[in-house]
Structure formats: C-alpha cells, structure tokens
Amino acid sequence: MKTIFAFSRQNRLRICSILGGCMLSAGTLSAQMPAPRIQSEINSSQMVAVKGSQHPLANPQYDAGRMPSATRIYGITLYFSRSAAQQADLDALLAAQQDPSSPQFHQWLTPDQFAARFGVAQSDMDKVQNWLLQQGFSIDSIARSRNAIRFSGSVGQVESAFQTEMHYYAEDGAKHFAPATALSVPEALAPVVLGVRNLNDFRPKPQHIPARSNFTSGSSGNVFFAPGDIVTAYDIKPLYTAGADGTGQTVAIMGQSYIHVSDVEGFQKSAGLTVKDPTLVLVPNTGSDGVTAKGDESESDLDLEWSGAIGRGATIKFVYTGSNTSFGVYDSAQYAVDNKIGDIISLSYSSCETELSASDLSTLDSIFRQATAQGQTVMAASGDQGSTACSGDTNLSTTQQEAVVVNYPASSAYVTGVGGTEIASGDGAGNSTYWDSSSGSDVINSAKTYIPEIVWNDDPSSCPSGQNCLSASGGGASSLIGKPSYQATLTPQDGRRDVPDISFYSSPNNPGYLYCTSDQSAWDTNDGQVGSCTNGFRDKSSGLLTVAGGTSFAAPIFAGMVAVLNQDLNYKSGQGLINPMLYQLASDAATYSAAFHDVTSGNNDCETPSNCSSTTGFSAGTGYDQATGLGSVDLAVLASAWPASGTVSLVGTTTTIVASSTTPSVNSQVSFLVTVVANSGSAIPSGNVSIAIDGSSATSYPLDSKGTYTLTTSFTTSGTHQVSASYAATGTFAASGQAVATVTVKTVTAGSFKMAASNLTVSQRSSGSSTITVTPSGGYTGTVNLSFDTSNDTALQNLCYSFTTMQSNGNGTVVVSGTTAATTQLTLDTNASDCATAAIPATGMHSFKTLHPVNTLRAGGGHNAPKPGRNPVPAELAFAGLLLAGFLGRHSRKLRKLACVIALVAAGFALSACSSTTTNSVPNPPKGTYTFTVTGTDSATSTITANTTFTFTID
C-alpha cells in the first residue's frame, strides 16, 4: 500500500523554510531561503511612521469628513521590502541577465524561484499574519512571490492598527477616500515594510483622447489609421511574410474595467483580421465584472484590439480588476507579474510623478524589477499632456499642474516608455504620396508607405473654461528616478531617467485611430452616434466612426511589435527589459539611420494658455530627444539588426572602481579610478561610465584611451560613503554590472586645548566649587567630556559632586565654540547626609562612590576602614559599658543607680564626639588635603585630550 502526501505550494515553501532550504530547480541560480528579519514579536506599544505613506492627493483643502468606522475596506496590501543583501543580489542578477558574457544571460526566474530568493522568510510572514489577525483583519491572500500580503478590515481597524484617520476627499465632482495622515507600523515590523497600498481609491488615468475629425473615408475623404496602415508604415509585413506574427508569445494588457468581447470581435472583423478572442483574467477578490469609471472600458478595448492587430498570432490576455474601486490597474500589474502572465506587459495608464507617494513608487518599482528578473518586457504610455503631465489634475495646485513633469510607470528604469508622434497636416487626406484615394467607398488599409513623423502636439490655442484640452506626447526628465546605465551615452547628461524611449503615431487628429467600443463616453452622441462598429467601423445608425488617439495606442502597438520580434528571433521565453538593446543598437550610427525613424521636428510645449502659462517643454532634434525618445522603428530592419536568441556575441566587460584612500578626512579630496576591461581579446572598451555617489542620480563620463576615468571629489560629512560605477554597452562591448567603492570618512578636529582648575577649601559638612577652565588653541572647537580622579578614593567615598553640565554617566561636559576659554564648575559636598541615596535626587548631585567604588576586603581577609553605616563603638561608650557591667553585677541598689548615671554621662560624651564626624551613622569625608586630577577628552576624537590638578582641603 502506497501513501502519498500532497502539499500546497505555500506549505512546500513553509516546509523548506523549516528544513533550512530546498532545491527548487536547476534554475534557482544558487538561491538560498531568506533569513528571518523580524527579531521580536510584533506589538503596537512602539510605532514607527512609514516614510512617504501619505498620498499626495489627500489634500486637506478637499477634506469631506471622516469615514464611518464600520465601513469596510477590501484588498489592503502590505508590501515587504528586501533586505540589503537581497537587494544587492537582485541588482547583480538583473545586470547578469542582460550581460551576454554572463552564464545567467536571459536565465529568467519563475515567481516561485523569485520568492525563494527575494521574498520574506516564512517565520516573518507568520508573525505579520498573526499581528494582522490580532488587529481584527481578515487575510485575503499571500503573494506567490512572498513579497506582499493582502487583507481586509473596517475603517476603525485600519485607524487603530496604523494610527491614522481615514477621510473622504471631494475633488472634481468625485468623492475619494484616503488616510489623512501618514501610516505607522509596529517598530518590530518596520524593517520589512516597503509600503501599504489600497487604502485609497485614487486610480491612475487612461492615456487616450477621443477625436472627431480625420483608412480613407468614402464619405468625407478623411484618413484614419486601421491596422494595415500601421503594418505598412512601420514595415512589419516582411516579418509576417517570413512567418513571424507573434505566435508563441503572450501579450498581457492591464486594465481596471470589464470589457465586452464583442467589441474586439467587431474590430477584428472590420479590419479584415481573423477573429481571435482575448483571454479575460479577473484579478481574484477585486469585485465582480463591471465598468467602474468613464473611459476605462474604451481604454482596454483599444489596447486589446491594437495589440492583437499587430501581434496577430500572439495570445492576448486581459488582466483586469473588478467592481471594487479600492483596486486598479496597478493591482492588475502586480497580479500579472506575481503569476507571470505574459511575456510582454502593456500599460496604457499612468500617474504623473507628483501624484506618487514615496511608498507608491517603491512598491510599484519593486513589481517592475521582479518582472524584469522573470523575463517580462513591460511597456507603458508616456502620457497625453505633453511636458506638463499633471495638467488637469484639479486636486493639485495650479503650480503643480503647470510644472514640467513626466508620467510613471513610463519613467521607471525597468519599463519601456512609449511616446507619441503624428503626421504633418499636409501629409494627411488628399496626399497621394502616402494614401490611396477613395472612390465613394471606405478604403481600409490605405497607407502606401512610411509617413514622416513630427512630435505629437495638438494643443489648441484656446480651451473652454474648466476643461483640460492638452493633446501632446508626454516626455521629459524624471524627478524621482536616476539615469539608468543604458541611457548614459545617448540621452542628455542630466543624471535623470529620460522619457520616452521610443515613439509611434498617437495623434487623435493627424490622423487618428479607428477602434470599436461599447463605452458611450467615447461616442459622439451630439452627432447622433448610438453604437460603435455596427456596420464595419461605422455606427449603422449615424454612419459615424469611433476615432481616438494618444500614447495608449502607441504602447499596445509596440507590444504587438515586440511579440513579432521575439518570435522572429526565437526568444521563446521573452527578453525581459529591452531598453539596453534598443539603446545599444541606436548607438551605432548605421543601424540607427536604417532601423529607426529619427523625429527631428516639433515639441511637446504646453501651448494652451488656459491650461498652463506658456510652459516650455522639449523639442525634437537629431538623435535622442525628450519628446520622442529614439523615434519610431522600421521593424523589419530592426529585426535584422537585433541579435537572435543564442547568437549575441558582444565582448563581455568588467568594471572596477578603486579609491585613492579608503579613510579620507572630511572635505579632503579623494580620487576614484574607474577601469573597464574586456573579458577577452586585447581591445580596450570605449564609451561611457555612469558614476553615482551615495545612491544619487548617476552622471555619465567618457572613458579615455586606456578604458579609464578618474573622478575626484570630497565628502562634507563623516561616516561611510559609497561611489558606484557601471559601464553602458556599445555595439561591440557588453555592459558591466555595478562596481562599488566604499570609504570611511573621518572627522578631523583642528587644534587642541589646555586645562586649569582652581584649588578648593571647605569646612567639614559643607560644599564648594572648583572652576575648571578649557582654553582652545590651534583653532580647536568642540565638546570636551570631563572626568576626575582623586589621591584617596577610599577616604572620599561619602563625598558627592556635580558639574554645571552633566552626562548620564556622571561625567561633565564643556562646549568650546569660539576662540576664548570656556569654563564649568565642579561642586563637591562633604556633608554625608546630602549624599545619602535618598537625598541625591533632591540635591541634583552624583555619588562619588558610584564613580569610584572601593573594594572593602583586603587580599588577606582583613578589613579596610570601617564600612559606611558600621561605625566603631566610641571608647567612651565602651568604658561606660564596662563600668555598667561591673556595677550591675553588684546587688547594691545605690551602686546600680550610680552606674546608670555614669553610663548616661559617658554616652553623652560619645554622642558629642560623634556629632562632628558622622551624620546618620554615615561618616563624613575626613579632614585633610586631597589632590584631584581632572581629564578632558574631545567627544569626537579621543586622541585630543588634556588634564589638570587642583587641591581639595577639608578643614
């Protein structure tokens, strides 16, 4: 009889954790189970604020009151950070996966492998779950990658657990909710918390713009883009002919609304494509199917239709969230990455960077890093408000709306940002060079060749009050993300991640894209449109077309192109981040001129005065620019230049960085020598290295003829500092992983000081003060810590003392802040009653014996001076005792009375004698002259020290 034990994936990981690790697969790449990081039980007695957890759109100006305590919030997600070792390991892995000379090149991880290597330890997960349950929350799910936990609970439970208040915010006719203050978590939990999401319902916006103006129309003569036109313009047809149409690839479209599959089918039929339904994947526990906001359904319709229209053989999956508005498209992305849905992920939603909290940025970028490690290519629309990406976000200030800023996630270093172009007005309808003419009937797929592009910018000169009319390609420099190494050579030397990377036609007017949707917000109901694609691309009732534009079209179109490219070049498991290869190919002048369409005309300035105050954006120019990136592509030529899977033959490189001193002083110059060498052959790498100091934005520098660059700098603060360097790939040499040099900067305190102290004489049972003077020399400034010793610690055990300024350890301090001497007082008290344990707190003194305790036992077993509280019996009292004993031995009553009188007199003498040397049975410090030695030491540099002596006399 055979017994079979079946364990779930989660339990397998738990068992592995208990046993100390499991061999998951050969592809684990030497992964080890994560070490526990929560060192104690989680409790709420000590709380720590979560940095950047307050949402920028929770503006007090729009506060509409507190949420009812019983209101339930679903899908709250706590994201876990990676340890420093895990983060370093992940950075190294991502670099190796893109390095053709590395054995880990394109060796992608599965989500389970990612969990085993970069997730949290099971014991930590258990502690977090227990704490959440103790707060009254219910656990919804644990991420497969073990980097997040999802739970639900009431507003009251949220407010209690995270020490915040949940409020409503009324903005632009809508009502949202969000925490009114930053979140806090227990101190024990803080080291593993990256952020907490889904405590607000501010959702990212779709990036498409409906249009009603320019396929060649048989009724108006206007032209519009249908799928065949894009195939022609960007030279995709040769790859179709060669058998590459995306078969074997999966493109995942991210959404936050249900769609009607019949719209996708209507589009495919109208365009003459094979009908092929997308696979719908509703993110679990996000609500039921439904359309949640205006524009969401039409956004997803066009994404699905156009990605499938270009990647015709690819599997198209639609990952979307349901009717619960606590969730949105970023939850779709997290689910797609956590379950590795799709080799290619396309996002047509974005948030301007001003709207992102630090917590949002860190959690989302963590997701896109994971996608990169798993071989998933992520692309995102750069936005449709030109250089002012926040324009129209009325919950922001006017200054914020008019600021030059870019959209995220297009600005992520792990995402390909896709911008927008358009054709010039003279190249549209009626131009027979580029378009077939109509003869009374619609001509689908009428573009004849590539149509030259300019920067998309349809901003009108005027705009109705209260509306946002901007219509232009998003682009610029990120304010949140530093320059990645692949952008080090071709992009502006601004130290920032530049957006976009690539661009395609996006204008809704020049010429606009056809698509089909049931989203009535996309229809021109003013002209009688009551449907979409009920008669070919037209509404059967009104004869109208559904037309729009935006980078929302450009992103899924490029997603379809990458699917075709991957199949053509045999990248069966995807390519991960394609940006390094894009920029590497563009760095070769011949390849760039043949495979890319360089856009050199136009800008993305804000040109609508009512929406901005003449904001200057970015202009197109030769090569890379921040309006269109590298331009668009000729896909067939690009595919011929792109290395096929298994044929990459770049020469591997190694980058090193060495500091001229590992222990420099503050403000002193130190040099860092960066060297790039080829791993094979004798050629010396050329190009650029990117150097970053303490994790700041990297700056690009050219290598010399020896393959080196020397950076000379200085540090203004003491402590540990790091300088990192990485090499960007060229057409010959592969990129190198990051090299790091660590230095410990020391504080140098100039000069020294001298000390003096005044002698002191006091009467027994009284106190006095010695003045201690610290005199600087050689420009010395700083804090001097003071301590002292005496010539007879035993005799002075019942002394107490104080400095003018005391430390908790009983030592004093004096601050030297200028060129003149500084003084302090050392007060000494010889009255033992003042120095008793109970009296010291009231007097503000410190006990001498706690600073200089004396051992009361001699080595031979004898005793030193009597212990405090155990005084010797005075001789007078002893004599009286003898007399008393003798007289009491007699029987005479008179003698006994006399003995008593003698004893009382003797006792009086004894008490009188004791009154001058003891207090409450504790002896006062004896009379005499003692030497005190006072030592001063600089608080920052222990080698800077001085001492002085003074005499202390008790008379």
Task: Report yes or no: 940 and 748 within 8 Å, Cβ to Cβ.
Answer: no
Instruction: Produce one character per residue of 295-326: b if its CB has 16 or more CB atoms within 10 Å, e if not.
Output: bbbbbbbbbbbbbbbbbbbbbbbbbbbbebbb
pTM check: above 0.85: no
What pLDDT, on the 0 to 100 scale, is given for residue 216? 64
- DSSP-assigned letters across all residues of 279-333: EEEEPTTS--S---STTHHHHHHHHHHHHHHHSTTSEEEEEE--S-TT--HHHHH
Q: What is each CA distance from 294 to 299, 300, 356, in whole angstroms?
A: 10, 12, 22
What pLDDT, on the 0 to 100 scale, is given for residue 748? 64
Which residue(s) pair with 511 in the sheet?
none
Task: Report yes or no: 873 and 884 within 8 Å, Cβ to Cβ.
Answer: no
Which residue, 713, 688, 686, 714, is CA-closest to 699? 688
What pLDDT, on the 0 to 100 scale, is given for residue 545? 93
Does position 413 have pLDDT exceeding 80, yes or no?
Answer: yes
Which residue, 574, 529, 516, is CA-closest to 303? 516
In the chain, pLDDT over 90 holds for what percent of residues? Answer: 57
**How far, in Å, CA of 355 to CA of 438, rounded?**
46
Number of helices (H), then strands (E), in the chain: 20, 46
Q: Which of 460-464, 834-838, 850-854, 904-908 has the lowest mean pLDDT?
A: 904-908
Mean pLDDT confidence for 252-260: 94
| Residue 372 C-alpha from the chain's centroid | 17
**How far, in Å, CA of 76 to CA of 787, rounded?**
55
pLDDT digits (tens, 9 = 90+) for 203-229: 777 776 765 444 666 667 789 999 999
Q: Which of 48-57, 603-612, 803-812, 900-909 has the lowest mean pLDDT?
A: 900-909
- The distance between the two most distant Cα atoms of the chain, rounded to a whole number of Å, is 156
What pLDDT, on the 0 to 100 scale, is given for residue 18? 34
What pLDDT, on the 0 to 100 scale, is given for residue 201? 84
**How far, in Å, CA of 184 to CA of 180, rounded?**
12
What pLDDT, on the 0 to 100 scale, is given for residue 464? 84
Mean pLDDT confidence for 832-854: 79
What pLDDT, on the 0 to 100 scale, is given for residue 917? 57
| Confidence at 801, pLDDT banded by 50, 70, 90 | very high
Which residue would you say has higher pLDDT here, 302 or 732? 302
pLDDT digits (tens, 9 = 90+) for 350-363: 999 999 988 899 99
pLDDT digits (tens, 9 = 90+) for 155-189: 999 999 999 999 998 876 778 899 999 999 999 99
Q: Which of 441-445, 520-524, 535-539, 727-731 has the lowest mean pLDDT?
A: 727-731
Does position 729 have pLDDT exceeding 60, yes or no?
Answer: yes
Does position 864 have pLDDT exceeding 50, yes or no?
Answer: no
Mean pLDDT (the chain) is 85
**How far, in Å, CA of 74 to CA of 654, rounded?**
49
Q: Tabulate helix, strand, coil % of the chain (nearest 5).
A: 25, 30, 50
E strand segments, 190-238: 193-197, 205-206, 209-211
Which residue would you say has higher pLDDT here, 678 or 913? 678
| Confidence at 855, pLDDT banded by 50, 70, 90 | low
